[in-house]
Amino acid sequence: MTVKPLPLRATASFVLKGSPLAFFDGVCYTRFNDVHFHEEESNMGIIKEYFGIGGYIREPSGAYSWQHLTFVGSLLVAMVALAVWLGLRNKKRDFGTQNRVMIRSALLIDGLELIKIGIACYNSHVSGDPWYDGILYNLPLFLCSIMLIAIPLAAFTKGRLREVGADFVALFGILGAVAGTVGAAQNYSAYPVLGFDNMVSGFTHSISGFTSLYVMIVGLARLKKQNVLPCLALLFGFCGVAYGVNHLLDYNYMFLMAGDGTPYDIAYNLVGGSPLWYPVLVVALFVAYMAIFYAVAHLIRSKKKEKITV
């Protein structure tokens, strides 16, 4: 969605002078120095600025700025450390104990996303757009957004369905975490780092990466050969829906229409922006990634079996 600048508010000087938001985003707002305001107005200004209600006053720090890389780097380090710690701690414990972490991850990631959609609906209304735009443009139709469904699938279902969910999380959770934080150039070019949009996005992508690592460490993801086709069907299904919705909304779910300032631009430029071959190439890259992931997992599993038999 387009970022709409806020009108100059008396609250802005309080929000930005000496605050962590101003320091981290590296912007000086001296033009507000002579404006007088009340404390309660200032507190409301902080809330509006953090949630981007009516648009952000702060300028984006920019993709791959030190603010962007510091923020996502901290998230990724915490993600890996927490996954390794909980994974190793629960590796030999019973399924119920292992799955409790999955349940909490599912509730947390979906809870944060629902809050984000609620704020987006309110922002759409304040901006003069239909409130339901906050839903239409936040559907779980990006590769990383599929985790909003796959993680609960792995946490709350049983049998084959749970296995497919866990394998899908293992396959694409870590990829989504890196792509949605380090590679999310379009977000950090549009919004300030310490704002609701980028912070919630960073947290949800990190939960995806954490869960992906966790299910592999504790052994909840088996990456069985019989789960390859269901995982492919899930991927193709979401790609098909995303492609159709893109044409209805003129949007770019799953980045099937354009690179949009992300590493997908490499693929987009490779085929000259072809509306036919670009989405085909993107889906082919997803499949190639799956094939490589399964091949590496099989190789590691074979090496472990060799060590046991020796």
Contacts of 65 (CB under 8 A, 6+ apart): 26, 188, 193
Residue 161 and residue 53 share a domain:
no
Residue 147 and residue 101 share a domain:
yes
Residue 139 and residue 274 share a domain:
yes
- Where is the domain boundary, 41, 58, 75? 58
Residue 114 and residue 7 share a domain:
no
Cβ–Cβ < 8 Å for 73, 67: no
Residue 116 and residue 52 share a domain:
no
pLDDT the model gives residue 27: 46
pLDDT the model gives residue 12: 37
**Residue 261 confidence (pLDDT) above 60:** yes
Residue 278: C-alpha distances to residues 180, 270, 283, 301 (Å): 20, 8, 9, 35
Residue 159 and residue 27 share a domain:
no
Helix residue ranges per DSSP H, 183-273: 185-190, 196-218, 228-249, 264-270
**Residue 235 confidence (pLDDT) above 80:** yes
The whole-chain average pLDDT of the chain stands at 86
pLDDT the model gives residue 97: 96
- Where is the domain boundary, 11, 32, 58? 58
pLDDT the model gives residue 37: 40
pLDDT the model gives residue 43: 67
Confidence of residue 6 (pLDDT cuts 50, 70, 90): very low
Burial class (CB in 10 A: 0-12, 13-18, 19+), 272: exposed
3-class SS at 6? coil
Residue 220 and residue 117 share a domain:
yes
Residue 167 and residue 240 share a domain:
yes
pLDDT the model gives residue 9: 35
Query: How do residues 110-127 score in pLDDT, each as one tens digit?
Result: 999 999 999 999 999 988
Q: What's the token pair of residue 308?
A: 């046991």
Residue 124 and residue 6 share a domain:
no
pLDDT the model gives residue 22: 56
Total structural domains within the chain: 2
**Residue 26 confidence (pLDDT) above 90:** no
Choose the weakest-confidence range: 9-18, 68-77, 135-144. Answer: 9-18
Which amino acid, residue 8? L
Residue 45 and residue 184 share a domain:
no
* Range 260-281 average pLDDT: 94
Residue 261 and residue 117 share a domain:
yes
For helices 277-309 and 228-249, the axis angle rounded to 10 degrees is: 160
Domain that holds residue 40: 1-58
Confidence of residue 245 (pLDDT cuts 50, 70, 90): very high
Query: How do residues 69-107 score in pLDDT, each as one tens digit?
Result: 999 999 999 999 999 999 999 999 999 999 999 999 999
Residue 92 and residue 17 share a domain:
no
Helix residue ranges per DSSP H, 11-63: 12-16, 20-25, 39-51
Residue 44: C-alpha distances to residues 22, 27, 33, 199 (Å): 16, 20, 18, 19
pLDDT the model gives residue 23: 56
Residues of the chain with pLDDT > 70, as a percent, come to 84
- Where is the domain boundary, 37, 58, 79? 58
